[in-house]
Structure 1
Amino acid sequence: MAAEGNAGQLIGVVTLLGAAVVAVPLFKRLGLGSVLGYLAGGLAIGPYGLGLVDDPATILHVAELGVVMFLFVIGLEMKPSHLWSLRGQIFGLGSMQVVLSAFLLAMVGMAFGFSWEVAFVSGAGFVLTSTAIVMQTLSERGDILAPRGQRIVSILLFEDLLIVPLLAIVAFLAPAEAAPVATSPLWQRIGIALLSLGALVAAGLWLLNPMFRILAKAKAREVMTAAALLVVLGAALLMEVGGLSMAMGAFVAGVLLSESSFRHQLEADVEPFRGLLLGLFFLGVGMALNLEVVGRNWQIVCMGVVALMLTKSVCIYFVARLAKSNHADALDRAILMAQGGEFAFVLFAEALKLKVISPEISANMTAIIVLSMAITPLLVVMHKRFAHAEAIQMDGVEEPHDLQGNVLIIGFGRVGQIASQGPLAKGATISIIDNDPDVIRNAALYGFKVYFGDGARADVLHAAGAEHVGVILVCVNDKAAATRIVENARHECPQAKLVVRAFDREHALELVQADADYVVRETFESALQMGRQAVLALGATDEEAKELESQVRSRDTERFALETAGGTFAGRALLLGNIDRIDPPRHDTKPEASSQPAESGI
């Protein structure tokens, strides 16, 4: 019997993993994102799909730890000083959005014929945005640390803080016959919550770092992993005992460890569990979609989804514009945060227990929340695909006009910034153009005047003074753009020496044929230095290492010259290796670099 029970559990685990492995890559291939893949996979295997898994509630309860771990990782990225700088957004922007949304959503509930108590609970539940869906989407887009991402994170943090007061309001709205099952007085719950939060902060400030130092000295990797999980789950448990959100506890623990020297180790240890459990959470949400309820009350459920999502998105957009966000950011936030969230399930369960709402309303609202969560990733994909491109913000950005200098730098990213140091040290006067307004504004913080312009255009080259410069450094991180710039610059500015950044060997050949004077493959020199250090580590002297590096460079230059059309560009190809001669190939018993296939990525 025990073997049969273990086999049954194993079948469930295999089914969950199989659904994720099949659905997620398929949906990502279709451009619909991983979240929608998880939701569809959960719906397919759940009790209202194929019926392979019949207990989505338990899976959701366990998988909430994925959200907890996600918030811990986000907390590690936010130092306390940075979080303090967001206090205005957390309490100002967050409270404005929540209060206005709750009022309007309650009005929608009353328009559907519910009492004001039921309408308030339903609207308050829908106000609480899905942290899991929003954070996962921001993470996939790389927007979490961007300004618009930080505003969304601030609002989510404020919503997490609402758990206790909302549950207290639900208890206050409970009818008299439900009073015996009500929880402890509000003042006592607030006191316990503050005590739990204080204990967590104290542990983070004075206990965690010494504990990790002791464990690090033990040099037991598995113990460090166990300690990382202990911190996350312990913080979540402490907040749960205090009546706060588990995710909030994990976030606070992450913030307290954000300046720890063990931060990166903790993130690496937690990451695999976070990804797996978060995926399991989305599977559980998909399985929880009760198709019987949707089918029986499809009109009210569908109307509720549309009405609540539309009302909330309009409210979010209005608040965002009121807070000086541009149209694109406001619309993006409205679409991304228009759904209800996982904490609504907790609120509805408490309201059902206290008889504030009926079982039928609870089932309908749960279906509405789950449907809104399932629809959101699809809306995000559609918005990304069909929305107009964002207008470039040109505040503080100037276009070039009759610039004067003897060196022109096109592209001022990592390569352009480093390449500029040599001419500046030589005393050259430099002009800089770039087509990324953010790069221009960031460079201004360090005293560089960068002008906006597309270096591939002849008129921009003339405005930048290219016909008067002696050297043009082309440092853009775009193969096609670099080639166009060289072609135009060679035609418009024949007097200038063109020093160009190449992506790889194939691109370097293309640039040489476009008549660039000096081409530097962006990874070649660093790769040579790594090889030289490896030779030194093997016991070679400096002279031997230098000679071996010279041989590799010579053979690479020779191969490059042979690859150009009929050797026509062999002379110019010498410049690519930064040497002044080509040694004849040697035929020793040991294989030489020239006998190896030409690399394609350097």
Structure 2
Amino acid sequence: MAIDLLYNVLIFLAAAVLIVPIFKWLGLGEVLGYLAAGVVIGPSVLGLVPDAEGVLQFSQVGIVFLLFVIGLELKPSRLKVMRKAVFGFGSLQVAVTTVILAISAWWLGLPPIAALVVGFSLGLCSTPLVLHLLGERKELQARHGRNAFALLLFQDMAAIPVLAVIPILAAGSLIADGVAPLLGEILLAAGAFLGLIVGGRYLLRPLFRLAANTRSREVFAGTTLLVVIGAALLMDIAGLSMALGAFIAGVLLADSEYRHNIEADIEPFRGLLLGLFFMAVGMTAQLGLLAQQPWMIVGLTLALLLAKALSMIVAARLYGTGWREATNLGVLLSQGGEFGFVVLTAAGTAALLGQELVGLLVLVISLSMAVTPVFFLAHVNWIRPLFVGKPRPKPAYDNPVDDSPQIIIAGFGRFGQIMGRALQGLKIPYTVLDINADHVEFVRRYGNKVYFGDASRIDLLRAAGADKARVLVVAVGDIEASMRIVEQVKRQFPHLRIFARARNRYHAHLLMRAGIHNIVRELLPASLELTRDVLIELGIPSEQAQHTIDTFRPHDEQALMRQLEVFGNEKKLIQTVQEAAQELEALYEADEEVATTAPRRNAAPRERQDP
């Protein structure tokens, strides 16, 4: 049994490693690569893994993790900024497309409920495929890119209640057994739903705080897996979708200080399991249908692409966009999507749809996804130039407040908090990462947005927005941790401008050797300011005391640079320190001579002016 399991794992990994990179190189995206890999190793081609249905059942855990990550991204502030595009344009498009496709399915002979499920599932688009195409052409921030993202976000949210309702729609015993059994199921589902929300609201943060205090990455990752799988199983026991439970758990943690760390820990599991799901879908694709009825399959695929493109253009025009943007969206979002696989599979499992019909529609969706990159490239080269004209005025939602951070502060102790208060007063967005869980919890009580996490982790920095940020402030007190962060960031995010806090001269030398020049020694400004006040207290005039400090600062910086040249050579370092002390004494003696001779130069004119 163990050998068979290892054999299957080896087959999946080999297929993914060999086939997915080819599809990425062709610009078709990872999703199609996984689908093709599944087709190759599935029963339709090589038959290396015969139990496609069993793999598909297990691989739906990937969708659970995907929904959890989507929930983590849905912060209330982000939805508020994009609410018009998400709920206005998104709901309009889903309604128009679902109605058109459902009526078509009903006309072809499906019952009303089945036709509605088919219309909705075919109306969903592929989030990873569309975002990949937009990112490849750097059009995510274009007008049609933002509208596409808003639409995909709404579709992801809309799929959740549909997945939850499918088991209820499949309760065919309503007429035979009466309303009581259905009411019992609804009450059980509602109780589980409320229990998850209430329990998660009051238990999740203490649970993650306890895990964070262990300082063990494995314990924290295990806690994340426990929450995701536990929430999914709770919904499954209540008769609802497992994905719904994971989504709710993600939303409950969206504003948590542990969000970035959770996202970084869950990403590898999500990616692998989601890839396994797409491979399982490819394994279940009935290529025999394409060989037996090629014209019907191709005709249905083209009909789906045309119907979705037209419905997208209609919805975009009703929403108020121009023809150029509407056609961009129509071509870009004309394919089926991975959530269509999920909804159709759930409907087939619940016996709302026949397995033959599910296989046919899965094949049609797969083919529509395969041809979308080609159609979009043709549209960009030949159709889009025809719509070049005067730019339309931007709608209000095109100028949102950017919630991606311009500044990331690593460490939020006394040093970092001062900077954070100043930035908050200027309304400059920033993200804070701190490794001390107790400290994070304490600081958040005062309204500060601080996230738990080790800023030396590349995955965590990427989850916190390091790809888009401009400045990283390393305010970590521990010297080794500070240098670890600097080394990782300079290697992985070379565009980030690094400003660092140095504990002492040794730390400053380490930072300078690492190529960091925006350095503040934490004790130097306060020490010089206090020295000036002490000199004034001793009777030295305030101007002279300030001049003493102004003389010391550049001299100390020059000495620091000279000592950097002999870093690691203790004998030469001692000699440099002694020479610097002698130079400073000479500077002060020269200043004293100037101060004593200056009154004599000014005395003669005053005497001549006396009567």
* TM-score for both structures, normalised by structure 2: 0.58
* Distance in 1 separating the partners of 2:179 and 2:133: 36
Are the aligned partners of 2:91 and 2:154 in contact in 1 as well (CA < 8 Å)?
A: no
* Distance in 1 separating the partners of 2:281 and 2:131: 16
**What secondary structure, in the 3-state scheme, does the structure 2 residue paired with 1:259 have?**
coil
* Distance in 2 separating the partners of 1:551 and 1:48: 71
| CA-to-aligned-CA distance 1:79-135 (integer Å, 9 cap, x gap) | 234336666655554443333222211332355455656544433432344566557
Structure 2 partner of 1:569:
none
Give the fraction of aligned pairs with identical amino acids, expressed as a percent: 36
**1:538, CA displacement in angstroms?**
9.8
2:101 pairs with 1:105:
yes
CA separation of 1:323 and 1:394: change in aligned 2, threshold 3 A: closer
| CA-to-aligned-CA distance 1:169-193 (integer Å, 9 cap, x gap) | 4556x998xx68x998554444333
Structure 2 partner of 1:8:
4
**1:45, CA displacement in angstroms?**
1.9
**What secondary structure, in the 3-state scheme, does the structure 1 residue paired with 2:27 have?**
coil
Residue among 547, 556, 561 paired with 1:549: 561
2:312 pairs with 1:316:
yes
State the AA in 2 paired with 1:155: Q
State the AA in 2 paired with 1:295: A
Are the aligned partners of 1:129 and 1:341 in contact in 2 as well (CA < 8 Å)?
A: yes
Residue among 197, 200, 206 paired with 1:204: 200
Q: CA RMSD in A?
A: 4.6
Are the aligned partners of 2:224 and 2:266 in contact in 1 as well (CA < 8 Å)?
A: yes
Structure 2 partner of 1:43:
39
**1:257, CA displacement in angstroms?**
1.3
State the AA in 1 paired with 2:163: I
Structure 1 partner of 2:288:
292
**What secondary structure, in the 3-state scheme, does the structure 2 residue paired with 1:48 have?**
coil
* Distance in 1 separating the partners of 2:500 and 2:562: 13
Structure 1 partner of 2:49:
53
Structure 2 partner of 1:159:
159
Are the aligned partners of 1:235 and 1:246 in contact in 2 as well (CA < 8 Å)?
A: yes
State the AA in 2 paired with 1:39: L
Are the aligned partners of 1:90 and 1:158 in contact in 2 as well (CA < 8 Å)?
A: no
**1:301, CA displacement in angstroms?**
2.1
Q: Which moved more, 1:283-292 or 1:77-86?
A: 77-86
**1:371, CA displacement in angstroms?**
3.0
**What secondary structure, in the 3-state scheme, does the structure 2 residue paired with 1:53 have?**
coil
Are the aligned partners of 1:35 and 1:377 in contact in 2 as well (CA < 8 Å)?
A: no
**1:25, CA displacement in angstroms?**
2.0
Are the aligned partners of 2:90 and 2:150 in contact in 1 as well (CA < 8 Å)?
A: no
State the AA in 2 paired with 1:152: L
Structure 2 partner of 1:403:
none
* Distance in 1 separating the partners of 2:239 and 2:340: 15
* Distance in 1 separating the partners of 2:495 and 2:104: 58
Are the aligned partners of 1:297 and 1:364 in contact in 2 as well (CA < 8 Å)?
A: no
* Distance in 2 separating the partners of 1:190 and 1:85: 34
Q: Which moved more, 1:262-271 or 1:313-322?
A: 313-322
Q: Which moved more, 1:203-212 or 1:90-99?
A: 90-99
CA separation of 1:38 and 1:347: change in aligned 2, threshold 3 A: closer
* Distance in 1 separating the partners of 2:244 and 2:283: 25
Structure 2 partner of 1:71:
67
State the AA in 1 paired with 2:260: H
Superposed counterparts of 1:341-360, under 5 Å = 341-342=337-338, 344=340, 348=344, 357-360=353-356
2:13 pairs with 1:17:
yes
* Distance in 2 separating the partners of 1:366 and 1:216: 42
| CA-to-aligned-CA distance 1:444-495 (integer Å, 9 cap, x gap) | x99xxxxxxxxxxxxxxxxxxxxxxxxxxxxxxxxxxxxxxxxxxxxxxxxx
* Distance in 2 separating the partners of 1:363 and 1:22: 26
Q: When the two structures are aligned, how many residues end up with a matched partner?
A: 428
**1:157, CA displacement in angstroms?**
0.6
**1:224, CA displacement in angstroms?**
0.7
Residue among 219, 225, 249 paired with 1:223: 219
* Distance in 1 separating the partners of 2:214 and 2:229: 22
State the AA in 2 paired with 1:268: A
CA separation of 1:152 and 1:125: change in aligned 2, threshold 3 A: closer
* Distance in 1 separating the partners of 2:350 and 2:247: 30
* Distance in 2 separating the partners of 1:272 and 1:165: 30
* Distance in 2 separating the partners of 1:36 and 1:257: 31
CA separation of 1:319 and 1:16: change in aligned 2, threshold 3 A: same
Structure 1 partner of 2:268:
272
Residue among 357, 378, 388 paired with 2:384: 388
Structure showing the higher helix proportion among its residues: 2
Are the aligned partners of 2:43 and 2:283 in contact in 1 as well (CA < 8 Å)?
A: yes
**1:153, CA displacement in angstroms?**
0.1
State the AA in 1 paired with 2:561: E
Superposed counterparts of 1:434-449, under 5 Å = none
* Distance in 2 separating the partners of 1:184 and 1:340: 38
* TM-score for both structures, normalised by structure 1: 0.59
State the AA in 2 paired with 1:149: F
CA separation of 1:322 and 1:74: change in aligned 2, threshold 3 A: same
**What secondary structure, in the 3-state scheme, does the structure 2 residue paired with 1:318 have?**
helix
Are the aligned partners of 2:114 and 2:352 in contact in 1 as well (CA < 8 Å)?
A: yes
* Distance in 2 separating the partners of 1:414 and 1:90: 24
Superposed counterparts of 1:234-383, under 5 Å = 234-327=230-323, 329-342=325-338, 344=340, 348=344, 357-376=353-372, 379=375
CA separation of 1:137 and 1:190: change in aligned 2, threshold 3 A: farther
**What secondary structure, in the 3-state scheme, does the structure 1 residue paired with 2:21 have?**
helix
**1:8, CA displacement in angstroms?**
2.8
* Distance in 2 separating the partners of 1:548 and 1:528: 15
2:134 pairs with 1:122:
no
CA separation of 1:55 and 1:231: change in aligned 2, threshold 3 A: same
**What secondary structure, in the 3-state scheme, does the structure 2 residue paired with 1:388 have?**
helix
| CA-to-aligned-CA distance 1:338-377 (integer Å, 9 cap, x gap) | 3444555565567667776555434423332343344445
Structure 1 partner of 2:470:
none
Structure 2 alignment gaps of length 5 or more: 396-404, 408-426, 429-493, 513-520, 525-552, 566-611
| CA-to-aligned-CA distance 1:360-405 (integer Å, 9 cap, x gap) | 43442333234334444555565566663797967489xxxxxxxx
Structure 2 partner of 1:232:
228
Q: Which moved more, 1:285-294 or 1:185-194?
A: 185-194
| CA-to-aligned-CA distance 1:508-542 (integer Å, 9 cap, x gap) | xxxxxxxxxxxxx9999979999977445699998
* Distance in 1 separating the partners of 2:135 and 2:235: 25
* Distance in 2 separating the partners of 1:377 and 1:61: 29
Structure having the higher Rg: 2
Structure 1 alignment gaps of length 5 or more: 398-412, 416-444, 447-520, 554-602
* Distance in 1 separating the partners of 2:213 and 2:337: 42
State the AA in 1 paired with 2:119: G
* Distance in 2 separating the partners of 1:183 and 1:274: 39
**1:200, CA displacement in angstroms?**
2.2
**What secondary structure, in the 3-state scheme, does the structure 1 residue paired with 2:74 have?**
coil
**What secondary structure, in the 3-state scheme, does the structure 1 residue paired with 2:60 have?**
helix
* Distance in 2 separating the partners of 1:158 and 1:522: 37
